[in-house]
Amino acid sequence: MQYDEKGRTSTKRGIKYDFSLLAILLIPVGVSLGVVGYQLSTILKLPTFVD
């Protein structure tokens, strides 16, 4: 096992080891929902409150 300068393990793993298939499929769904929600709020001229 290899260690980096801070003592952490530095093994290179792919995205499949970090995320499950469900998570990989839900990311584009969430992005598309955000885009569609933004378009609907723009078309309907809904007020947007940003704190």
pLDDT for position 7: 67
Which phi and psi (to 5°) does residue 44 adopt?
-85, -5
Here the tokens at position 8 are: 């952490």
Q: Give the residue with greater pLDDT, 22 vs 51.
A: 22
Q: How far is the CA of 34 from the CAs of 5, 21, 25, 41, in angstroms?
A: 39, 21, 15, 11
pLDDT for position 44: 93
pLDDT in tens, 4-48: 666 676 666 777 788 899 998 999 999 999 999 999 999 999 888
User: Rounded CA gap, 27 and 36, in Å?
Assistant: 14
pLDDT for position 17: 80
User: Rounded CA gap, 33 and 9, in Å?
Assistant: 37
pTM for this model (two decimals): 0.59
pLDDT for position 28: 95
